[in-house]
A and B are shown apart, each in its own frame.
Chain A
Amino acid sequence: MSTHHIKLTLNGETKEADVPARLLLVHLIREVFNLTGTHIGCDTTSCGACTVILNGRPVKACTVLAVQADGAAVQTVEGLAQGGQLHPIQEGFHQCHGLQCGFCTPGMLLTSAAFLAEHPNPSDDEIRWAISGNLCRCTGYMNIVKAVQYAAEKMRAASAQPAAAD
């Protein structure tokens, strides 16, 4: 089996590793880089617990080879908070009780964050559609949708501020 030297950006930091061809991206993140916020649920591309943002788009890291991330930008849940400040989506899940056990939460957060970056003013239906590849087995989706709306509102307010200051 071939081994490959890869270089990627993980949460803004440059990382390098030698990986066997069959290593999955989720194992690279969890076991080589020790970031265990990315979960493994089904391991069969169904649940979205392993979601990471790969070059701007949320994908299931249990179904991507680590070597495919060579040259890519990867973001995990550990990269959401900045300078000790929770990302608005994290704050939303906290405020609206968007989680119980928390197993699906990193994936939900990343899918929602990527979605909100492109849809600042979503309807509830659009949110449900966007998170339809992420399964939650205990909270139910009502509060998750509320949490995403909370974040959307907060992000809209934040982006309106500089304009108002003009």
Chain B
Amino acid sequence: MIPPAFDYAAPTSLSDALALLSQNPEAKVLAGGHSLIPALKFRMASPALLVDINKVAGLAYLREAGGWLAIGAMTREADLDRSALVREKYPLLADTARMIADPLVRNLATIGGNLAHADPANDHPATMLAYRAEVTAQGPAGARTIPIADFFTGPFTTSLAANEILTEIRLPARRAGDGGCYLKIERKVGDYATAAVAVQINVNAAGVCTSAGLALTNLGLTAIRCAAAEAALVGQPLDEAAIKAAAQRAAQAAEPVSDYRGSEAYKRSLVTTLTVRALRTALERARR
């Protein structure tokens, strides 16, 4: 399949990339290309210009600073998966990166592209909602911070302006008692989720849950944050009763539709089961 005709530019600085976007309203950023190039081949997108940001230096990194884990938008899934820091301290992120697509796709796919694409089937959006992440968008007028809760505005749409580039994603740095887990049911390696659940909790020394983030992938028009399920956990001792109550509320928050991946009822029941399992694992990790 041959993509439609487009112009291509590979600027080496962020300011040049931003200028190209501002001068060409029909331009699109090219990151890992693993959502955009398939969309071009299927002729679902026909941008006049691709602004390839792979040659812009300094957009791929992982560093802890100022109470955050900062992740450069061009960081590849494979590099998240390989990072000892991520594996040891950010298990929810590690689980997520490992479940995305397949190893070949992960060598190019970027975390920034995954969020900017805002496919309700993408895995990072739910994870970032559970982490209470924030992102930096760079535009012609400078940088602005967008809390992740304000980022996804609909399927395949975000609060990024057409001339902005997502440059950084920040998660709260790990504190004592933090634990997280991402569980995804897929039909085969490389498939999008039939259902997936992201949880990030904190438990204190007494075993009481002090904070909880819980969100769902591919169970609605965007990733869904389950505020009611979170509320069922915070302030409670994290026992089986609390876990089951939260799982029930998560299933209520899901908005699945029947399709070739499963019926509405099947997906909703997956949410219950996955939430229970993810919370148990997150708790185990929080205690380590």
Contacts of B30 in A (CB 8 A): 65
Is A133 touching B6 in the complex (CB atoms < 8 A)?
Answer: no
Chain B, residues 23-47, CB within 8 Å of chain A (1/0): the string is 0000000100110011011000000
Residue total for A at the interface (Cβ-Cβ under 8 A): 30
How long is the Cα–Cα vector from A47 to B175 in the complex, in angstroms? 41
How long is the Cα–Cα vector from A9 to B69 in the complex, in angstroms? 36
Identify which of B2, B10, B38 contacts A22 (C-beta below 8 A): B2
A156 within 8 A of B: no
B103 within 8 A of A: yes
Is B52 touching A68 in the complex (CB atoms < 8 A)?
Answer: yes
How long is the Cα–Cα vector from A21 to B5 in the complex, in angstroms? 8
Contacts of A22 in B (CB 8 A): 2-6, 40
How long is the Cα–Cα vector from A57 to B101 in the complex, in angstroms? 16
Is A134 touching B104 in the complex (CB atoms < 8 A)?
Answer: yes
Stretch at the interface among A38-46, A85-93, A147-155: A38-46
A64 within 8 A of B: yes
Residue total for B at the interface (Cβ-Cβ under 8 A): 30
Contacts of B8 in A (CB 8 A): 2, 4, 21, 65, 67
Is A45 touching B105 in the complex (CB atoms < 8 A)?
Answer: yes
Nearest chain A CB to B12 CB, angstrom units: 11
How long is the Cα–Cα vector from A68 to B104 in the complex, in angstroms? 17
Interchain pairs with CB closer than 8 A, number = 84
Is B104 touching A60 in the complex (CB atoms < 8 A)?
Answer: yes
| Closest Cβ neighbor of A48 among chain B residues | B104
| Closest Cβ neighbor of A2 among chain B residues | B7
Is A133 touching B38 in the complex (CB atoms < 8 A)?
Answer: no
Is B38 touching A44 in the complex (CB atoms < 8 A)?
Answer: yes
Contacts of B54 in A (CB 8 A): 68
Identify which of B3, B40, B104, B189 contacts A59 (C-beta below 8 A): B104
Contacts of B5 in A (CB 8 A): 1, 20-22
Contacts of A48 in B (CB 8 A): 102, 104
Is B189 touching A43 in the complex (CB atoms < 8 A)?
Answer: no
Is B33 touching A63 in the complex (CB atoms < 8 A)?
Answer: yes
| Closest Cβ neighbor of A60 among chain B residues | B104
B205 within 8 A of A: no
18 interchain pairs, CB-CB under 8 A: A2-B9, A21-B7, A22-B2, A43-B41, A44-B38, A46-B190, A58-B107, A63-B37, A63-B108, A64-B33, A64-B37, A64-B108, A65-B52, A68-B33, A132-B189, A133-B104, A133-B105, A133-B190
Chain B: residues with CB nearer than 8 A to chain A?
A: 1-10, 30, 33-34, 37-38, 40-41, 50, 52, 54, 78, 101-105, 107-108, 189-190
Chain A: residues with CB nearer than 8 A to chain B?
A: 1-2, 4, 20-22, 24, 43-46, 48, 51, 54, 57-60, 63-65, 67-68, 70, 111, 129-130, 132-134
